[in-house]
A and B are shown apart, each in its own frame.
Chain A
Amino acid sequence: MSEPGPRISRRAAVGGTVGLLGLAAAARYLPELLLGPGRAERLIVRLVELVAVPDPVAVGGTFFASHPGTTADELVVEVLAELPMGGTLAELQAAFRRRAMEDFERGRTERLDGWVLARSEASLCGLVALVAGQKSR
């Protein structure tokens, strides 16, 4: 195998822009939400990078073909409601991994753009596509 070339960090690629956008988003919502800037984005980026697909935004864009009318609120609940919110991000990530494996174990899978994903992963990708404004019509 050849040596890898210069790397562009996936997290940096996603998070860098998200951070800038997060500031704008935070400026808009901070007074009412009492959140630090970019927290939501950072959390979702950290979760979505656990999903082993090369382009979760594009993959998530196909979610709505099989789930028309699904709202962002519904997806947030689907992705986050059963995860432990009282701990660290590492714990949250571990819980998300476990849940994805359980989805597979129980046959709760979704096929998005050919990728066979856990239902929780599919919902997360759908959420990411939605907030990224790339939902398929």
Chain B
Amino acid sequence: MLIDARELEDGAVVEKDLCILGAGAAGISIARELNGHGLSVALLEGGGFERSGESQELYQGTCGTPLIDPYLPASRLRYFGGTTNHWLGYCRPFDAIDFRKREWVPHSGWPIELETLEPYYRRAAEVCRVAPDFDGVAPLVPESANRIWTFPFHVAPLRFGYAYRGELVDSANVEVFLHANALRLELRPNGGSVESVEVATGGERRLRVRARAFALALGGIENARQLLISDDVQPTGIGNAHDQVGRYFMEHPIFPVAQICTHHGDGPFTDETVRSTDTWARSFRLSDAEQQRSSILNGCLSFNLIPRVEDVRGQLLAGRSWRVVEAFLAEREAAGEAVSLNDAEEPESALYFTRFDVRAEHAPNPESRITLGEATDRFGHRRVRLDWRLQAIDFESVRRAVEVLAEDAGRFGWGRVRLDPAVDLERGYTPGFHHMGATRMQDDPRRGVVDRNCMVHGVANLGIAGSSVFCTSGYANPTFTIVALAVRLADHLKEMLA
């Protein structure tokens, strides 16, 4: 059923088994899992079915260097379907190494392993409408098995809002509320569970949704903000007794700093092998062993189309002094070691030359964080302040990844690699528009916000869905893992509410 919350009376109260806050990839995935089950569900979306400036304005906030405005409103979309409305559609599970505790990466390690998520990744593939075949990780060449691996991304930019609108609107047990802006979660007096959520429906009117359980699915930034502004019972915000909410914010910094030049036909970096299609994209990364050996982070190397190089040697050899070469040859010739230049008219090979990007894992950093700024939105709630911080290991990992590629390109005759010396790595990157880590999953409530089931520590009926629960960022686009974790949370909530 579809409800325009603006048409509800002020002070209306809705009672459900489950209230899902946010109708992006996570919220819609949970709602779909509960569609047709015996539980009553409210799915709250702050925007409508289309983008509007009024809704988008609520994403304004402040962010420090190196991010610049309008990063916050530009990197996410506040209407039904959420940020999948501009998603590139790259689907790939995180690597096993992303989940592991790595001694050389501070604060790494999830409380779950890849194996735990694998069945949910298969279900996520159905949701995202991609084939569930995510094998295909292989050494780039057998000789480089311990150094460079290659793997595919599925590319399927599914617009969740369009794809699943009809299914949810037609649902007998899921009610979709549009223009229902979640203002704050309201805890019971003992702080041990959420009783309701206060919702602004337009103007001064308010709606209250009471439920047995709540799933926070507002996005990688807003999830943290919602916990922080819900400070009626717990002054530092919900789930924030140990000052963990908002910390460990991670992005996927993209470093367009390297180039590769190859001869046509040499090695694996040809336009045929690195080319992306509408449904498939190939990338490269360092092997787990090389990451450990070099004490660096994960990351992927992505190539664009490689143009032919036609006139790159337009700079001619204006030779002035070949005398030394001639003298050397004459000396050898006198010794009977002449070089014949006449029998080597083999066609020269074309050079291919391109830039490539490194999309890097961002090391978890407690000082990289989301807090509340002083400015307030039209509902009187404090806006976000984002302080994204990278560390030395982030830059060193990129540098080393390029070096390894350069070394193997030389060893195996694939071409030559250049790390642009004019680019300052610490300034020469851009954000990937991925927001992760600000309500991270840890078994120890002193080190994270949600437990391994994505339930907020100390709050019995509040789960969090979205990339804010990620403990590490890997390099893979987060949406596919967001969906897998959301499906898993849905299972947990079904069991809890049964």
> Which residues does A use to contact B, with CB under 8 Å?
1, 4-11, 13-14, 16-18, 21-22, 25, 29, 33-35, 39-46, 49-58, 72-73, 75-77, 80, 84-90, 92-93, 97, 100-101, 103-105, 109, 111, 113-118, 121, 127-128, 130-134
Contacts and interface: CB of A to CB of B under 8 A. Distances in A.
25 contacts: A1-B271, A1-B305, A4-B308, A7-B308, A8-B310, A8-B311, A21-B319, A22-B322, A35-B329, A44-B317, A46-B341, A52-B351, A52-B415, A57-B317, A73-B324, A75-B324, A86-B338, A87-B339, A90-B343, A101-B413, A111-B421, A114-B418, A116-B406, A116-B416, A127-B325
B324 A76 contact: yes
A2 to B, nearest CB: 8
Looking at chain A's contact residues, the main secondary structure is: helix
Contacts of B327: 33
A57 B314 CA distance: 10
Contacts of A113: 418, 421
B156 interface: no
Nearest to B346: A90
Given A1-B275, A40-B322, A100-B410, A80 B416 contact: no
A89 B406 CA distance: 27
A80 B316 contact: no
B341 A13 contact: no
Interface size class, chain B: 35 or more
A85 B410 CA distance: 24
A4 B310 contact: yes
Nearest to A34: B330
B326 A39 contact: yes
B167 interface: no
Given A116-B403, A131-B322, A131-B325, A53 B330 contact: no
A58 B315 contact: yes
B321 interface: yes
A117 B403 CA distance: 11
Contacts of B332: 85
A5 B324 CA distance: 38
Chain B CB within 10 Å — which of A45, A54, A87, A92 has the most?
Answer: A54
Contact of B318 (A11, A21, A72): A21
Given A7-B350, A33-B326, 6 more contacts: A33-B329, A89-B341, A116-B406, A116-B417, A121-B416, A131-B321
A77 to B, nearest CB: 8
B342 to A, nearest CB: 8
